[in-house]
Structure 1
Amino acid sequence: MMVAVALTACGGSTLPRQPQISTAIRGLSQGPQWLYTFGQCHSAPFSGICILSYPNGKYVGWIEDYAGSYVRSLCSDANGDLFVTINDTEAAVVEYLSHGTKLLNEGPYFPAGCAVDAATGNVAVANVNIGHTPGFLAIFVHGKGHPRFYKSKVIYSFVNCGYDADGNLFGDGTDRKGNILLGELPKGSKSIVVLQFSKRLYHAGPIQWDGSALAIGYGDGRARVIYQVRVSGSTAQIVGTTILRSHLFGYKFVGGFFVVGNSIVAAYPNGPKGPTVAAWPYPAGGNPQKILTRWSGHLYPSAITVTAAQ
Structure 2
Amino acid sequence: ALGLGNDASKPNLLYVSSVQRSIPNVLIYTYPDARYKTKVGKAALTFPRGECADRKGYIFVTNGAPGASNSNVLEYAHGGTTTIERFNVDGSAEQCAVDARTAKLAVISSQLAIFRPGHRTPTYYGFPKGFERIACDYDNKGNLFVDGVTRQNPSRAALIELPAGDSAFHSIKLPPISVAAARGGVRWDGKNLAVSNGASTIYLLKISGAEAKSVGLAQFYGSAGLASFWISGGDIVGANSLSPTVMIWAYPAGGQPFAVLHGIGRGDGVAVSVAPK
TM-score, normalising length: structure 1: 0.73
Question: Is 1:35 matched with 2:35?
Answer: no
Q: Following TM superposition, by how much is the alpha carbon of 1:67 offset from its aligned partner in structure 2, in angstroms?
A: 8.9
Query: What percentage of aligned pairs have identical amino acids?
Result: 30
Q: Following TM superposition, by how much is the alpha carbon of 1:157 offset from its aligned partner in structure 2, in angstroms?
A: 3.1
Q: Deviations over 1:120-154 (max 9, x none)?
A: 110111223xxxxxxx3221112632111222434
Q: Which residue of 2 aligns with 1:255?
A: 227
Q: Which residue of 2 aligns with 1:137?
A: 112
Q: Following TM superposition, by how much is the alpha carbon of 1:240 offset from its aligned partner in structure 2, in angstroms?
A: 0.9
**Superposed structure 1 runs of 4+ greater than 4 Å apart:** 94-103
Q: Following TM superposition, by how much is the alpha carbon of 1:66 offset from its aligned partner in structure 2, in angstroms?
A: 4.7
Give the distance between the partners of 2:86 and 2:25, measured in 1 at CA.
Answer: 20
Question: Is 1:193 matched with 2:170?
Answer: yes
Partner amino acid for 2:266?
L
Q: Which residue of 1 aligns with 2:134?
A: 159
Q: Following TM superposition, by how much is the alpha carbon of 1:40 offset from its aligned partner in structure 2, in angstroms?
A: 7.3
Aligned partner of residue 50 in structure 1, secondary structure? strand
Question: Is 1:240 matched with 2:216?
Answer: yes
Question: Is 1:304 matched with 2:270?
Answer: yes
Question: Is 1:112 matched with 2:124?
Answer: no
Partner amino acid for 1:237?
K
User: Tell me, which stretches of 5 or more residues in structure 2 are unaligned?
Assistant: 3-8
C-alpha distance 122-240 of structure 1, shift in aligned 2 (>3 A)? same
C-alpha distance 236-39 of structure 1, shift in aligned 2 (>3 A)? same
Q: Following TM superposition, by how much is the alpha carbon of 1:92 offset from its aligned partner in structure 2, in angstroms?
A: 3.1
Q: Which residue of 1 aligns with 2:236?
A: 264
Give the distance between the partners of 1:72 and 1:217, measured in 2 at CA.
Answer: 17
Q: Following TM superposition, by how much is the alpha carbon of 1:253 offset from its aligned partner in structure 2, in angstroms?
A: 1.4
C-alpha distance 67-260 of structure 1, shift in aligned 2 (>3 A)? closer
User: Tell me, which stretches of 5 or more residues in structure 1 are unaligned?
Assistant: 3-29, 129-135
Q: Following TM superposition, by how much is the alpha carbon of 1:281 offset from its aligned partner in structure 2, in angstroms?
A: 1.6
Q: Which residue of 2 aligns with 1:291?
A: 259
Contact 1:269 1:298 in 2 (8 A): no
Q: Find the partner of 2:245 among 276, 280, 290.
A: 276
Give the distance between the partners of 1:269 and 1:244, measured in 2 at CA.
Answer: 14
Q: Deviations over 1:66-100 (max 9, x none)?
A: 59822220111121211111232462325557897
Contact 2:145 2:162 in 1 (8 A): yes
Q: Find the partner of 1:207 among 186, 203, 206.
A: 186
Give the distance between the partners of 2:19 and 2:158, measured in 1 at CA.
Answer: 33
Give the distance between the partners of 2:40 and 2:17, measured in 1 at CA.
Answer: 9
Contact 1:155 1:181 in 2 (8 A): no
Give the distance between the partners of 2:116 and 2:221, measured in 1 at CA.
Answer: 38
Q: Find the partner of 2:152 among 173, 177, 182.
A: 177
Partner amino acid for 2:93?
P
Partner amino acid for 1:189?
D
Question: Is 1:73 matched with 2:42?
Answer: no
C-alpha distance 192-95 of structure 1, shift in aligned 2 (>3 A)? same
Q: Which has the larger radius of gyration?
A: 1
Q: Which residue of 2 aligns with 1:131?
A: none
Q: Which residue of 1 aligns with 2:109?
A: 127
C-alpha distance 159-270 of structure 1, shift in aligned 2 (>3 A)? closer
Contact 1:52 1:61 in 2 (8 A): yes
Partner amino acid for 2:246?
V
